Structure 1
């Protein structure tokens, strides 16, 4: 992070009177709620929902995005400039500094949709169960708002349609492509099915945890279940590993330093009366600090290998790879938090801007925040009629399409207000 970018953030915080009036934000929401705009967003979202694609496979989704950007006359990277395989990065405005980015993730999940409706997923075993189809649609909606009002843009808005958030670390590949080198701030959102409709939730500082995955193969000696003394039982060893891993949190971690270790996969054997040769287990570990996260990683490996040895087994442990990288903690910039509350209050009303406690979910938006001042928030979409909404990553998850104009207007307002308040003198040598 160079001092020039930090100076921009400090300037935003110091400004008392916004350069763009609050009325503009209200007009953005009114624009997005127009029948023709809302119907267009719903149509785009349903088209994406019917054709879900997993991380780095979002070719049709990317094609839909480009078609819509073409219709709006918005420039973006062409096929010769590949960004994270399927990523699309568009630009609205003068093409000159300052640059502010808005990000939407594109990928679906390997789930069979259980919601019966006209626009149900047409791809067996794949579903938009996390609302990314809505995120893409909101960013396209924001793009339409910004393009329509491009005469008030005092700089450049960068539209980031990012693949592979669900474990693939697409954000890191977008960064590695160099597409965001001049960006001074970046904003991202996520729908929340259980929070009240039209309310936003976030906080300054740590919002989401650092996250990693592990997989271990515990190898013994298979044999007949009736004569276990002729075998070396990897099921018993793996069972003790699972229990011992929980002690890392309950007995080794500071109770005030929240951590999680969860074994979610346990595969071994195929018959009731046979001790298998090996068992495979896998899971996730999470912490809010990098130090605690790396300590967990080290201890997970030692516990698995050590417990396997106690039971006369061997163990190999693999952690997150290039295809499933570790995610850093999602840490919101303090100055952008103050900025966000002001803009969101203008768009949604101050009573609809809420603080939230940090929690153990993870987001690869955190990769952006390691090099760019960034802000991530949740927008509620539950109405009073839906008393028990399905959670994210559920096959029964449903996106409330009425939230689309709100997310689009808020993202557009954040970009316009940021550019308006980020006007700064040319970079001097001493910076």
Structure 2
């Protein structure tokens, strides 16, 4: 204690003032954060790593499973995590798997992949075509799972460098089942400080990514309405109350909600995609069922649109002497909030993706009216979602998401795996608990 002089005290005070005004970064961050993306991409591009990912993706593609039925997919994930020596929890939210890499201590950061397929018949003829009739991975979720497993492989190989815990989220039921909401309700992410997710993009080149700060995708909801009239013979319509005519007027009036009631600068969409009524050419049916979706970027606009959809359907049906009931299907198809990227994570993403790919390969994209259940995570955790390019160098046009001709360019897999791993590892370095140098000096002296 005697060795602690006034000179030491003076130096300690100066350092304390300096460090209080300066961001504190650990030595490991200074040495590693700038090199992590390149090292991780090199690892992901190794032939053995790439071939391993391709094999996993094709296995998942051959056996697509619909929402909350992802049993084979979940089993495959657990087998691969076991091989990598990664611990996990299962089941979570039904078929979900939550894996852990690192210290199992704070800080925590999460990577998310959705597992479910779509009820579609694949029309692409190739060796690994879906073996399940009427089911297909037409939205790239097989690639999403593969890339988070690829990130897990990278991170496990570099686990000693991870200053915290990476949480791997393999969630069910993105396609209308709000699996993300159930993962949150299960308490699987209560300690997580940030979460990252991606989606393959057929219209962005391989080696490029697209995203933005703030609103990226819209809020979305479903509606279904039954319009009841009085059936009868087509030759004597005066003895009937025609629900088909009423439903037709309803559909036209619903479009006026966007064209004449909403602010042209506040994007909204109402789409009627279902119209069922009548089985004969000469018989007016008793009832008609219509259904569709509605979308908006702001919560206020979304709720107003919901309110007006119900009003218009009921009132327009009444004009034609029919009555109508409206169901928003919230129990089976919950409303999806807007996907809104955290501003601080946007800067983090730009830095990491720019280092890994080059700044010119990080593209600012406009918001779109599609919806993602990833948005449920963003309501409770700072989150960031981005598009991963798949278009090859020849610019050959790929089919859109949800097309029976949709294909995945597997050359994108290393980029997605390395980006996931880099975003998580560098986030943990930036947010690890650091003991200030002044405190350490006092402890040494005292």
TM-score bucket (shorter structure): over 0.9
Find the counterpart in structure 2 of residue 163 from structure 1: 172
SS at the partner of 1:216? strand
Find the counterpart in structure 2 of residue 219 from structure 1: 228
Q: Is residue 356 of structure 2 the alignment partner of residue 344 of structure 1? A: no
Find the counterpart in structure 2 of residue 7 from structure 1: none
Find the counterpart in structure 2 of residue 189 from structure 1: 198
- Cα distance, 1:386 vs structure 2: 4.8
Q: Distance in 1 between matches of 2:331 and 2:202?
A: 31
Residue 71 (structure 2) aligned to one of 27, 38, 59: 59
Q: Distance in 2 between matches of 1:360 and 1:224?
A: 42
Find the counterpart in structure 1 of residue 291 from structure 2: 282
- Cα distance, 1:198 vs structure 2: 1.4
SS at the partner of 2:55? helix
For residues 394-405 of structure 1, the aligned pairs below 5 Å read 394-405=403-414
Residues 233 and 169 (structure 1), Cα distance of their counterparts in 2 relative to 1, 3 Å cut: same
For residues 30-49 of structure 1, the aligned pairs below 5 Å read 30-49=42-61
- Cα distance, 1:22 vs structure 2: 2.3
Q: Distance in 2 between matches of 1:240 and 1:259?
A: 20
Conservation of the 8 A alpha-carbon contact between 1:15 and 1:421: no
Q: Distance in 2 between matches of 1:15 and 1:357?
A: 35
With normalisation by structure 2, the TM-score equals 0.90
Conservation of the 8 A alpha-carbon contact between 2:257 and 2:308: yes
Find the counterpart in structure 1 of residue 301 from structure 2: 292
Residue 254 (structure 1) aligned to one of 243, 248, 263: 263
Find the counterpart in structure 2 of residue 4 from structure 1: none
SS at the partner of 2:317? helix
- The unaligned stretches of length 5 or more in structure 1 are 1-10, 427-431
With normalisation by structure 1, the TM-score equals 0.93
Q: Distance in 2 between matches of 1:35 and 1:320?
A: 47
Q: Distance in 2 between matches of 1:92 and 1:111?
A: 35
- The unaligned stretches of length 5 or more in structure 2 are 1-19, 436-446
- Cα distance, 1:59 vs structure 2: 0.6
Find the counterpart in structure 2 of residue 231 from structure 1: 240
Provide Cα deviations, 1:115-159, integer angstroms capped at 9, x if missing partner: 000000011110000000000000000000000010100000000
Q: Is residue 339 of structure 2 the alignment partner of residue 330 of structure 1? A: yes
Find the counterpart in structure 2 of residue 25 from structure 1: 37
Q: Distance in 1 between matches of 2:393 and 2:84?
A: 36
Provide Cα deviations, 1:267-292, integer angstroms capped at 9, x if missing partner: 11111111111111000000010000
Q: Distance in 2 between matches of 1:185 and 1:345?
A: 20
Provide Cα deviations, 1:202-256, integer angstroms capped at 9, x if missing partner: 1111110000000001111111111111111100000000000000000000111
Q: Distance in 1 between matches of 2:115 and 2:383?
A: 19
Q: Distance in 1 between matches of 2:24 and 2:390?
A: 32
Q: Distance in 1 between matches of 2:81 and 2:136?
A: 24
More off after superposition, 384-393 vs 373-382: 384-393
Q: Distance in 1 between matches of 2:92 and 2:330?
A: 20
- Cα distance, 1:178 vs structure 2: 0.4
Q: Is residue 117 of structure 2 the alignment partner of residue 108 of structure 1? A: yes
Conservation of the 8 A alpha-carbon contact between 1:169 and 1:323: no
Find the counterpart in structure 1 of residue 439 from structure 2: none
Q: Distance in 2 between matches of 1:149 and 1:385?
A: 35
Residues 272 and 116 (structure 1), Cα distance of their counterparts in 2 relative to 1, 3 Å cut: same
SS at the partner of 1:294? helix
Q: Distance in 2 between matches of 1:152 and 1:40?
A: 23
Q: Distance in 1 between matches of 2:332 and 2:76?
A: 25
SS at the partner of 1:214? strand
Find the counterpart in structure 1 of residue 368 from structure 2: 359
Residues 390 and 354 (structure 1), Cα distance of their counterparts in 2 relative to 1, 3 Å cut: same
For residues 168-179 of structure 1, the aligned pairs below 5 Å read 168-179=177-188
- Cα distance, 1:83 vs structure 2: 1.0
Find the counterpart in structure 1 of residue 139 from structure 2: 130
SS at the partner of 1:76? strand
Q: Distance in 2 between matches of 1:21 and 1:60?
A: 37
Conservation of the 8 A alpha-carbon contact between 2:24 and 2:434: no
Matched residue count: 412
**What RMSD over aligned residues (CA atoms) do the two structures have, in Å?**
1.5
Residue 418 (structure 2) aligned to one of 396, 406, 409: 409
Conservation of the 8 A alpha-carbon contact between 2:276 and 2:290: yes
Q: Distance in 2 between matches of 1:200 and 1:345?
A: 10
Which structure has the bigger radius of gyration?
A: 2
Q: Distance in 2 between matches of 1:14 and 1:165?
A: 39
- Cα distance, 1:383 vs structure 2: 1.1
Provide Cα deviations, 1:21-70, integer angstroms capped at 9, x if missing partner: 32221111111111111111001000000000011010110000000000
